[in-house]
Chains A and B, each alone.
Chain A
Amino acid sequence: MKLWTETLIVLLILTNLKLISSSRLSACIRIVAVQGILLGVVPLLAGQNPLTWRIASLAGLTMILKGMVFPWLLLKAMRSANVRREMEPFVGYSASLIVAAGLLGFSIWMGRQLPMPFAVASPLITPMAVFTIMIGLFAVISRRKAVTQVLGYLVMENGIYAFGLSFAQQEPFLIELGTLLDVFMAVFVMGITIFHINREFNHIDADRLNALRG
């Protein structure tokens, strides 16, 4: 059991690294989809108690929303905006990987500073969650294209969700559903916004938007 949980966590960390080092947008979207599905598996493994309906439906909803609906929406936005690659990110891909190595060490150090009041499935869950949040944040600030920034936002949310998963037994179901709905709305709105930005300005480079004057 411990081996499976650890493998899952390592896979989640690897999806983060792949996201930060890949320039093709469709590959990035796909990797975030994989991350969503892996996240859906986490509550099934992390729960020490026998499987309840609550946990199962939470896992199923996560997989459907994060693994299929969001990637589908983003792929659609990407196609309509007609962008394929992240050109000239603010931080290069090799440099991003090195930064990620530093962030990983920092997250594990930070995870050790946050002792859990109850037993969690693995001591690595908290560091993984912190790392995912940080990678999301890093993707938001280091990439140019709006699609990648939305992906960063999604990954950040994945991290917060993973953090919540360690409490999945304790946390009210309603809160989980509420966050999922919020993120759904956000991705939906951002997809539309990307489309409109692209139609108005013929590009979705977010850094060039601050040159706009009213």
Chain B
Amino acid sequence: MNILHPLLNPILALFLAPLLPGIINRTKAIVAGRTGQPLLQLYYDLFRLFQKSAVYSLTVSPIFKAGPLVGLACIVMGLTLVPMGGIPSLFGFAGDLVVLAYLMGLARFFTVAAALDTGSAFEGMGASREVQFSVLAEPALLLGLAAISQVGLIRPLTALPTAIPLESLSEMLARLSMSVWMADGTVLLLTSAALFIVMLAENCRIPVDDPTTHLELTMIHEVMVLDHSGPDFGMILYAAALKLWIFLALLAGLLIPVRTGNFWMDGASILIGMVVIAIGIGVIESINGRLRLIRVPQLLAGALVLSVMALVMVLWG
């Protein structure tokens, strides 16, 4: 494998990530029978926002200004840990899945802190919801990834459970070939379902949050960033697109067992998979309504249970 290959994911992500929300929106528009916004709308938005200057309220502290910056930095760092199927990540190391999960946690913490910093009641409400849902989404994500780490391992019978070495995300995903899918397909399907729900929650997609609404009573993520403007808001939008890319890359790597070793084949299959999942999100958003807020924890608890089930099955099944 070429030394430049691991650069593929970060570079592609930095350039192509804003395309993903465009694909989702286009799918929704087509299903609804509208023409919809251009595929490249987010690029135009970002371009426009980065040319503006930010407006700050007199009451905010520097934390408010740091929020979008730290958020974007965390997500870009996370990007270097995410492999694309068989193609390893830029900086893979043992146990990097925990770092990935908590980089996203740190980004969330700063978004929430910046939202609370404004002193707005609405933003505080959004922050509270975001944190409440992440309490359930985070263990689901970690346990799901833990389940994947155990799939397809050839364990020596004599080894103690503690003797299994920690692996990086790249090694975990590189192992998921077609034969592993045939043998452990149920576990992988359960994990994919759990990660898909977590993805919907983390990226504020429809059954959990409505990314298009601006009605404060119903929204979660949008309400937290109401006071950011100009380049700050651009950074938030860009970070959101990159986060969506991270989740889609993980999901596509999980669902598409193409591990030929050929760089172009593997990379292309994962990219196609990501586009297909994005279209799938668009279809889901078109045919579902947003859940009532009290039902959302139930959905996330369902994801958690699926992860637990996958982990238990792969460990003891």
Bound complex: CA of A123 vs CA of B186, how far in Å?
14
Residues A63-116 near B (CB distance < 8 A):
93-94, 97-98, 100-101, 104-105, 108-109, 112
**Contact between B301 and A97 (Cβ–Cβ < 8 Å)?**
yes
**Contact between B186 and A7 (Cβ–Cβ < 8 Å)?**
yes
**Contact between B305 and A100 (Cβ–Cβ < 8 Å)?**
yes
**Contact between B305 and A108 (Cβ–Cβ < 8 Å)?**
no
**Contact between B305 and A17 (Cβ–Cβ < 8 Å)?**
yes
- A174 interfacial by beta-carbon distance below 8 Å: no
**Contact between B316 and A109 (Cβ–Cβ < 8 Å)?**
yes
**Contact between B317 and A104 (Cβ–Cβ < 8 Å)?**
no
Q: How near does chain A come to B302, taking the closest CB pair, in angstroms?
A: 6
- Which of B51-59, B115-123, B307-315 touches A? B307-315
**Contact between A98 and B301 (Cβ–Cβ < 8 Å)?**
yes
- A3 interfacial by beta-carbon distance below 8 Å: yes
Q: How near does chain B come to A12, taking the closest CB pair, in angstroms?
A: 12
CB < 8 Å neighbour of A97 from B190, B305, B316:
B305
Q: Which residues of A contact B313 (CB under 8 A)?
A: 10, 108, 124
CB < 8 Å neighbour of B301 from A7, A94, A104, A112:
A94
Q: How near does chain B come to A60, taking the closest CB pair, in angstroms?
A: 26
Q: How near does chain B come to A5, taking the closest CB pair, in angstroms?
A: 9
Bits for A1-30, please: 1 = Cβ < 8 Å to B, else 0.
Answer: 011001100100100010001000000000
Bound complex: CA of A6 vs CA of B313, how far in Å?
10
Q: How near does chain B come to A56, taking the closest CB pair, in angstroms?
A: 26
**Contact between B302 and A17 (Cβ–Cβ < 8 Å)?**
yes
CB-based nearest A residue for B316: A108
Q: How many residues of A contact B (CB 8 A)?
A: 21
Q: How many residues of B contact A (CB 8 A)?
A: 18
Q: Which residues of A contact B302 (CB under 8 A)?
A: 17, 21, 97
**Contact between A10 and B190 (Cβ–Cβ < 8 Å)?**
yes
Residues B286-310 near A (CB distance < 8 A):
297-298, 301-302, 304-305, 308-309
**Contact between B317 and A98 (Cβ–Cβ < 8 Å)?**
no
**Contact between A98 and B304 (Cβ–Cβ < 8 Å)?**
yes
**Contact between A6 and B186 (Cβ–Cβ < 8 Å)?**
yes
Bound complex: CA of A101 vs CA of B136, how far in Å?
13
**Contact between B182 and A3 (Cβ–Cβ < 8 Å)?**
yes
Q: How near does chain A come to B17, taking the closest CB pair, in angstroms?
A: 33
**Contact between A101 and B305 (Cβ–Cβ < 8 Å)?**
yes
Bits for B190-202, please: 1 = Cβ < 8 Å to A, else 0.
Answer: 1000000000000
CB < 8 Å neighbour of B185 from A3, A21, A93:
A3
**Contact between A94 and B305 (Cβ–Cβ < 8 Å)?**
no
Bits for B161-192, please: 1 = Cβ < 8 Å to A, else 0.
Answer: 00000000000000000000011011001100
CB-based nearest B residue for A2: B183
Q: How near does chain A come to B119, taking the closest CB pair, in angstroms?
A: 31
Q: Which residues of B contact A6 (CB under 8 A)?
A: 185-186, 317
Q: How near does chain A come to B146, taking the closest CB pair, in angstroms?
A: 14
**A10 with B309: in contact, given A3-B185, A3-B186, A109-B316 (CB under 8 Å)?**
yes
Bound complex: CA of A91 vs CA of B191, how far in Å?
27
Bound complex: CA of A203 vs CA of B273, how far in Å?
52
Bits for A137-155, please: 1 = Cβ < 8 Å to B, else 0.
Answer: 0000000000000000000
**Contact between B317 and A97 (Cβ–Cβ < 8 Å)?**
no
**Contact between B298 and A104 (Cβ–Cβ < 8 Å)?**
no
Given A7-B186, A21-B301: 9 more A-B contacts, CB < 8 Å: A3-B183, A6-B186, A10-B189, A21-B298, A94-B298, A97-B302, A98-B301, A101-B301, A123-B317
List the 9 closest pairs (A to B, CB-CB), nearest first: A97-B301, A6-B186, A101-B305, A101-B308, A94-B298, A94-B301, A94-B297, A10-B186, A108-B316
